[in-house]
Each structure stands twice: as structure tokens, then as C-alpha cells.
Chains A and B, each alone.
Chain A
Amino acid sequence: MLIIPAIDLKDGRCVRLQQGDMNRATVFGDDPVAMAKHWAAQGARRLHIVDLNGAVAGRPKNEKVIREMIQAVGQSTPIELGGGIRDLDTIESYLDAGVAYVIIGTAAVKNPGFLSDASYAFPGHIIAGLDAKDGKVAVEGWSKMTGHDVVDLAKKYEEFGVEALVYTDIGRDGMMTGVNIEATLKLAQAIKIPLIASGGLNSIKDVETVCQKLMPEGVIGAITGRALYEGKIDFKKAQAAADKASRKS
């Protein structure tokens, strides 16, 4: 299983939000390119980059620095990128620039046809992002709850042919209260495509728990942000623990 460092971009800087709230941002670095290089040098086998301003605006906002990050590490470290991706031209330009996977979140909930088109046009490169709380899907940087059941929507996305799902339990992300194992497990068991869990990792023990309980159900990665930046998790140790658990399974 992959431990995937998250780099969230707000106004050109690396931040972490608490529970997706743009007003509760902690800055962890002023140089996203250096941050990407740092995680690549630590041995990260994938990076998760989010254009937070883009997610709010509905179109790319930190594109220049993202392109520099891709230039710096994209050749050796596959990048998954989300935030403000709402049309096929944007997807194509990012893929051509060297992004491995594009994440579609809000746009997929509001306009499922777009996700379907994107999966058809760029098979193997589209990841759908699902943010949820108590089994219901949220959109727009988590500011709005919808009535969609997360498992139902995930199954629909699976039919579209998306490569994988990123599931963020928004009660947990940035709060470091542990991964919502039950909710993630329920979703993983319901689908046949890879799932990436986001949010809540707080310790090496959490990494081991995720590997033990979720990896056998098709969870191929865990995105972690705040815990890495605050030093609660050492990246190398976390990935080593995940690799060790993979060998046992």
C-alpha cells in the first residue's frame, strides 16, 4: 500500500485545512516545488496535489506552480491532482504536462456526465474524489452536504470506468482523530475498483491498522497531510510499515 503525501495549495503556498475549511488553513511551506522534491526524495511513490483555490473557483488557480512541481518530480513520482478540474481540456493539458491521475470531485457529483466523458476519453487516468460524512456526500470544499449516499455514488462512478476512488471522511480529515475504518471498509467492500483513503492517519499504528483491515479489501493507498507536516508520522517509517504489512498479507 502507498503512503501518499498530500500537498494542498492555497495562494501558491502549501497548507493544510481543518475539515476542508478554507478559513482554517495552516501554512506548512512557501515553496511547493521544494515540498514536492522533499517527498520524492523521501521515497514517496505517489503525490497527492490539490489546488484549493481552484476547487473554490471551479477552474485551475495554482496552475503555474503545479506545472513546476510536475516538471520537478513528475517523471519519477506519479502525481494525482485535484481541485477545479471541470472540463476535458483542463484534464488533457494536465495529463500532457505529466500528471498521472486527475481527480474529479465536486464536478462529478454535480455533473456525472462529465465524469463519464472524462473516464471514456482518458481511461486509466481519472480518479473520482468522494468526500463524505455519515455516509452522505459533500461538495465544494465540504461546505455543502448532498443527499447522495456515498456507496451508491461510488458504484455509479465504478460503472463509468474510473481508475480509482479517493475517499475522504470529512469528519476526520485534518483532525487527526484516526481513520474511519468502518466507513472506509464498507465502501471498499462495495466496489471492485481501487480505493485510496484520505484523512485521519495519526500514527504508524494507524498505518498498520489501515494495512491490516483495509488493504485486503482493495485500499491501495492512504493520503496523509497534517500528520506528516507536524511530524507525528515519519514518512519513511510509515511507508516501510506499509510495505512490511503488504508482505504479510
Chain B
Amino acid sequence: MKIAVVDYGMGNIRSVSKALERVAPEAQVAVTTDPAVIRASDRVVVPGQGAMPDCMRQLAASGAREAVIEATRAKPFLGICIGMQMLFERGAEGDTPGLGLLAGGVPRFPAARMAGLKVPHMGWNEVRQVGPHALWSGIPSGERFYFVHSYYPAPADAALVAATCDYGVAFTCAIARDNIFAVQFHPEKSQAAGLRLLSNFVQWRP
């Protein structure tokens, strides 16, 4: 099996690829921006950290943008953090157009509702699963995952929501549609539960 981890210069690529190598020792994990490699892979992971405008710019500059869009339509696809946010129509951060593959936006935590909570949201928080999904296999609802973010996805279609989390507001922290699964938290930094999620992704047959 070939797994492409898209390295457009904005992410914690090494953690992601190392974690994938651990859960899928037999797989070939390629850290790449080469569209040909992405197209030839069986599964695609798009990480991302930092700011959405930078990520969008870098993704375009890397030449991988079209291959990433194709992957979201064709094969098991995992978006992580900004790699998830970019799937939506528009991000509030720098009022950035996203890839527009999913209806909805990416708002910032509303200052008025944070009641003294710091933004960014940093640390471990409980992830409440909305319903069963292959990627939640063996992971109890309420398990803690690691977050670092100031913006969160707000899908227009509630059917996309795979999990929610509370931080001042209840927000969507995982989405699923067909062959796409994407998370706001960082499975590669979430220890056993995170590795389980990555392992589930590697075995997922949507």
C-alpha cells in the first residue's frame, strides 16, 4: 500500500509520517508534493499547521493542489488541522478562500463566548463522536485528543459532523463524507488514541 503525506511546507510532516509508518509498517509512506506520487498512492493525508492563508498559498505554490483535490474525490483522504480547514469554502483567518470542496466556513472562536478561555485552544480535550464510523473503531466517544487551533470548521451540512468538542462553544472537530475524513485535532500527537485513528484510516475501505 502506498500512502502519500502531502508536504507543502506547512506542517508537522515528520510526526505524521512516523506515526503512519508505525501503524502501517508494510506500507510505503511517501512525504511528497509530487502530483504523480499523490495520484499513484492508495491513500492521501494532508496535514497542516500555522495560518490558513499561508497554507493555501503554499499548497498552490507546491503544485500539489490539483492532485489533492482529485484525491478528495477518489481515495481514502485524511485532513488534519489546517489540512481539514482548507476543504471548506472560506476561512475567517485572513478571509481566505478554501478549496470549496465542503460547504461551510472556518470561523474563529467567538471572543464574546470564551469566558476567559485562551485562544488558541491548546491541549487535550474530549472528542464526542456523533455516530459510528470506521475511523472511530476501538476509540471510545469522549476520548481525549490534542488540539492547537484558533479556528474551527463550521460545515453547512450537519450530516458531515463526525465529532464535536467543547471549548467555550460546542464546535465540530471531525467531519466525514464518503472517502473523506478530517479532524481538527492532531492524531499524530494524541498518543494511543491518535495512533488508533491513523491505524483505522490505513485499514479504512470507504
Contacts and interface: CB of A to CB of B under 8 A. Distances in A.
Interface residues of A, number: 26
Given A95-B14, A123-B11, A124-B12, A218 B191 contact: no
Contacts of A188: 118
Contacts of B116: 216
Given A218-B122, A220-B122, 8 more contacts: A75-B22, A123-B12, A123-B14, A124-B189, A192-B120, A192-B150, A194-B148, A217-B118
Decide if the interface of chain B is mainly helix, strand, loop or mixed: mixed
Nearest to A220: B123
Given A123-B12, A194-B148, A216 B126 contact: no
Interface string B136-152: 00000000100010100
B191 A45 contact: yes
A76 B13 CA distance: 19
Interface of B: 11-15, 22, 49, 116-118, 120, 122-126, 144, 148, 150, 189, 191-192
Interface in A63-90: 75-76, 78
Interface of A: 1-2, 45, 75-76, 78, 95, 100, 122-125, 188-189, 192-194, 215-218, 220, 243, 246-247, 249
B14 A78 contact: no
Given A75-B22, A216-B116, A216-B117, A124 B14 contact: yes
Contact of A218 (B49, B118, B144, B192): B118
A69 B120 CA distance: 33
Nearest to B167: A249
Given A122-B14, A123-B11, A216-B116, A246 B125 contact: yes
A243 B192 CA distance: 16
B191 A124 contact: no
A113 B120 CA distance: 26
Contacts of B15: 100, 124-125
A216 B122 CA distance: 9
B200 to A, nearest CB: 18
B45 to A, nearest CB: 14
A249 B122 CA distance: 12
A218 B120 contact: yes
Contacts of B13: 123
> Which residue, A78, A123, A215, has most C-beta atoms of chain B within 10 A?
A123
Contacts of A192: 120, 150
A122 B17 CA distance: 13
Nearest to A243: B144
A122 B124 CA distance: 22
A243 B191 CA distance: 15
